[in-house]
Structure 1
Amino acid sequence: MATTMNADALDISQFSHTPFYCEENVYHLCKKLWTSGTEGQGHDLFVVFISNEKKQIPLWHQKASQRAEGLTLWDYHVICVQKKKGDSTFLVWDLDSTLQFPCPLASYVAEAIKPSIQLFSEFQRFFRIVHAPIFLRTFASDRRHMKDSKGNWMYQPPEQDLIVAEDGTVHNLNEYMEMSAAEVAKKVEPHLVSAVQSQKLGILIGETQLEEFFSLVS
């Protein structure tokens, strides 16, 4: 019988990482965590897309940055949030971050998202939270967004095969990335947890609501 490795023993070198393909990195990270000792058949894992209507969101402590404190302005970014076994702690798995890996959610919010910094409205971030078991079944990407008008790669793609959804869909990344202020939950309430656990595209919350949402996840 195969044995599984305790997820706490995993380090960053054991995960595949292709710069600028954060959605695929997180897809494969979730699959690895799922098979490496996480509880509940992946039900402790959540995928979080970070973007906004303008497709310009600041994050700090990013490996791609050459600026102070690792500041990077992404069009979108994707991370994994995991409920830690045995307590109410949540961990952030971000393969593009220079912070601790994985990083406690509170630390990641304080250091990478920095809600204490007042941003102009066009830079305020939205968070689309999707339950990993649903994401792994329904997400698809043929990497079309990484080709220029002549069909050339803007960034070298991952070695892994293209991700195709269970229903045969070959590309729906744009559905996860599209975000509008009108979709953002006005208030974080318990029913949003069940919505995340049942809806393909999860729920959309605002700039200061990330920790509040996960405080409701049992």
Structure 2
Amino acid sequence: MTTSNLVLLSSVDVAQFHHTPFYCEENVYFLCKKLCANGTADAEGSDLFVVFISNEKKQVPLWHQKASQRADGVVLWDYHVICVQRKKESSSPHLVWDLDSSLPFPSPLASYVSETIRPSFQLFSEFQRFFRIVHAPIFLRSFASDRRHMKDSVGNWIAQPPASEAIVAEDGTVHNLNEYIEISTADVVKNVGVDLLNAAFTQKFGVLLSDSQLEEFFSLNS
């Protein structure tokens, strides 16, 4: 990242966005809607992508997270969800909107990857991160959650849910969060190319990448 890129970025007040701890998927849903509504993103969200971060064992380490009790901000999430805004101008960095991060909001993708994902950090295989990238317009139409994953075996809330109504998909589906966070290494793409970008624009559950492919994906030209 160059100094000129830093100059182009201005911090946004994170407090203006809907945020309920431990409901990152709903937080990002409303964040995308707000970015579209206030003109920060395209009105249809065509420049936004929702990114689910998880793995088969539901153990993914991410740094600089507000929920951490450690100085380095590391948290071992079962899954996490962020929004990436893909900029077409070469002079503007792609941006990461992570409501749970202590980094600048938003952050350039390159610095977010370096500081939060730390791909150069040697991890045991069970902690390897995978990224399900879903085009925001598809996500906003298709995503649904009745919050069942946040209840214990007797029906009590593990964490207090948002005050808003549960999100229902346009087709009437009431819950499909599990399909977004389900990760199989067999589904990870082998090659990053324009065909992959086209797939991300059309597939309900997007495309699945490894951490070494994330920046390459967003560098593709459609």
**TM-score under structure 2 length normalisation:** 0.92
Letter in 1 for 2:71: A
Output the CA distance in 1 between the equivalents of 2:43 and 2:30: 18
Question: CA, structure 1 residues 217+23, in 2 after alignment: closer, same or farther (shift >3 Å)?
Answer: farther
Contact 1:39–1:85, Cα closer than 8 Å, also in 2: no
Structure 2, unmatched stretches of 5+, are 1-9
State the Cα RMSD in Å: 1.5
Q: Is 1:123 the equivalent of 2:127?
A: yes
Contact 1:26–1:47, Cα closer than 8 Å, also in 2: yes
Output the CA distance in 2 between the equivalents of 1:86 and 1:160: 36
Q: Which residue of 1 aligns with 2:103?
A: 99
Letter in 2 for 1:14: Q
Output the CA distance in 1 between the equivalents of 2:190 and 2:114: 22
Q: Which residue of 2 aligns with 1:82?
A: 85
Runs (4+) of structure 1 exceeding 3 A deviation are 84-88
Output the CA distance in 1 between the equivalents of 2:193 and 2:43: 23
Q: Which residue of 1 aligns with 2:208?
A: 204
Q: Which residue of 2 aligns with 1:73?
A: 76
1:85 is displaced (CA, Å) by 6.5
1:83 is displaced (CA, Å) by 2.0
Letter in 2 for 1:128: R
Output the CA distance in 1 between the equivalents of 2:197 and 2:86: 13
Tell me the secondary structure at the aligned position of residue 187 of structure 1: coil
Contact 1:12–1:95, Cα closer than 8 Å, also in 2: yes
Q: Which residue of 1 aligns with 2:5?
A: none
Question: Which 10-residue stretch deviates more, 52-61 or 32-41?
Answer: 32-41
Letter in 1 for 2:181: M
Tell me the secondary structure at the aligned position of residue 205 of structure 1: strand
Question: CA, structure 1 residues 160+217, in 2 after alignment: closer, same or farther (shift >3 Å)?
Answer: farther
Aligned length: 212
Q: Is 1:20 the equivalent of 2:33?
A: no
Q: Is 1:55 the equivalent of 2:72?
A: no
Letter in 1 for 2:201: Q
1:191 to 195, 199, 217: 195
Output the CA distance in 2 between the equivalents of 1:139 and 1:43: 16
Structure 1, unmatched stretches of 5+, are 1-7
Q: Is 1:155 the equivalent of 2:155?
A: no
Q: Which residue of 1 aligns with 2:112?
A: 108
Q: Which residue of 1 aligns with 2:182?
A: 178
Output the CA distance in 1 between the equivalents of 2:177 and 2:44: 24
Output the CA distance in 1 between the equivalents of 2:127 and 2:119: 12
Give me the identity figure in percent.
Answer: 72
Q: Which residue of 2 aligns with 1:11?
A: 13
Output the CA distance in 1 between the equivalents of 2:30 and 2:199: 24
Output the CA distance in 1 between the equivalents of 2:88 and 2:196: 22
Q: Which residue of 2 aligns with 1:34?
A: 36
Contact 2:189–2:208, Cα closer than 8 Å, also in 1: yes
Q: Which residue of 1 aligns with 2:144?
A: 140
Tell me the secondary structure at the aligned position of residue 133 of structure 1: helix
Output the CA distance in 1 between the equivalents of 2:59 and 2:221: 28
